């Protein structure tokens, strides 16, 4: 059982380049999240998807777009990378059921992105 | 969404208990209290969660104040592998929404 898989693990971009970070989960979870973590800092929510076909902004959405391709996959796109987007990006998933017991978040191991 | 407040850092000796506090004074009735930890160069991992009653699992115990405005994660015997950043967050069980992490508490364990 792989859990949450993120690709690539590492990436170096030049300013202005674009790229897509991929995330897939095999736990049949309905909700997925993208976070970024800057050195020595906590996690900040970029975007989330409560269910297939829906996405919502988090704390720091500027400069990013997301796609919930299907129930398994949630991608994060940087259209024109900037040095301020140098960070570690984490994808997470969970099963949400209104009125039900809260279930844990499962995280991937991250994508380390450097923008020069 | 309600926010949490944790100390920036704490120290413990190996094999001693550790009590990690979290304040959440604006918690709502449907918010669950979740704890996660992040080892160096890894993604966060789930530790424990609860709503009103104290909870125990193989990793830790969670003590929730009667008014639910604070909670404490208890590691009964700290090991060097418990050195990590510990995050306390609130999850609304009644609706989907932002899951906001703060900076967490960096726990150092001395041999």
* Span A93-108, average pLDDT: 81
Q: Give the model's pLDDT for residue A99.
A: 65
pLDDT tops 60 at residue B13: yes
Q: Is the dihedral of CA B36, B105, A90, A74 positive or negative?
A: positive
Q: Tell me if A43 and B87 make a contact (CB, 8 A cut-off).
A: yes
Q: Give the model's pLDDT for residue B102.
A: 82
Q: Which of B42, B94, B99 sits opposite A45 (nearest CB)?
A: B99
Name the minimum distance, in Å, from the CA of B61 to any CA of chain A.
16
Q: Phi and psi (nearest 5°) for A48?
A: -145, 165
Which residues of chain B lie closer than 8 angstroms to A104, CB-CB? Answer: 34, 46, 49
Q: Do you find a cis peptide bond into A8, omega within 30 degrees of 0?
A: yes
What is the pLDDT of chain B when averaged over all its residues? Answer: 91
Q: Which of A98, A101, A104 sits opposite B95 (nearest CB)?
A: A98
Structure tokens at A100: 């039900």
Are the C-beta atoms of B92 and B28 separated by less than 8 Å?
Answer: yes
Nearest to B31 by CA among B90, B71, B95: B90
Judged by a CB distance cut-off of 8 A, whether residue B7 touches chain A is no
- Name the band, by pLDDT with cuts 50, 70 and 90, for residue A114: very high
pLDDT tops 60 at residue B27: yes
Judged by a CB distance cut-off of 8 A, whether residue B50 touches chain A is no
Are the C-beta atoms of A110 and A88 separated by less than 8 Å?
Answer: yes
Q: Give the model's pLDDT for residue A106.
A: 94
Pairwise CA distance, residues B73 & B59, whole Å: 10
Q: Which residue of chain A has the CA closest to B102?
A: A42
Structure tokens at A87: 């960070």
Structure tokens at A75: 């991608």
Are the C-beta atoms of A91 and A6 separated by less than 8 Å?
Answer: yes
Q: Tell me if A102 and B44 make a contact (CB, 8 A cut-off).
A: no
Nearest to A3 by CA among A113, A116, A104: A104
Q: Give the model's pLDDT for residue B2.
A: 53
* Span B24-37, average pLDDT: 91
Count CB atoms within 10 A of the CB of residue B18: 21
A34-68, pLDDT tens digit by residue?
999 998 788 999 999 988 989 999 989 999 999 99
Q: Give the model's pLDDT for residue B95.
A: 63
Q: Give the model's pLDDT for residue A77.
A: 98
CA geometry: angle B104, B85, B33, nearest 5 deg = 55
Pairwise CA distance, residues A42 & A46, whole Å: 13
Judged by a CB distance cut-off of 8 A, whether residue B104 touches chain A is yes
B42-96, pLDDT tens digit by residue?
999 999 999 999 999 998 999 999 999 999 999 999 999 999 999 999 887 666 6
């Amino acid at each position: 059982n792989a859990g949450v898989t993120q690709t690539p693990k590492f990436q170096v971009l030049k300013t202005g380049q674009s790229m897509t970070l991929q995330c897939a989960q095999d736990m049949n979870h309905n909700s997925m999240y993208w976070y970024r973590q800057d050195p020595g800092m906590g996690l900040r929510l970029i975007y989330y998807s409560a269910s297939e076909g829906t996405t919502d902004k988090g704390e720091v959405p500027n400069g990013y777009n997301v796609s919930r391709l299907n129930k398994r996959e949630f991608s994060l796109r940087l259209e024109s990378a900037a040095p301020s987007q140098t960070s570690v990006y984490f994808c997470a998933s969970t099963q949400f059921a209104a009125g039900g017991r809260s279930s844990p978040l499962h995280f991937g191991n991250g994508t380390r992105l450097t923008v020069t | 969404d309600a926010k949490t407040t944790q100390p920036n850092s704490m120290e413990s000796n190996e094999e001693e208990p550790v009590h990690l506090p979290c304040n959440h004074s604006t918690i709502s009735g449907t918010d669950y209290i979740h704890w996660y930890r992040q080892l160096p160069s890894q993604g966060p991992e789930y530790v424990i969660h609860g709503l009103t009653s104290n909870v125990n699992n193989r990793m830790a115990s969670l003590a929730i104040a009667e008014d639910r405005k604070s909670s404490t994660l208890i590691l009964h015997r700290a090991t060097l592998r418990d050195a990590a950043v510990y995050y306390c967050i609130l999850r609304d069980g009644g609706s989907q929404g932002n899951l906001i992490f703060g900076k967490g508490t960096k726990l150092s364990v001395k041999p």
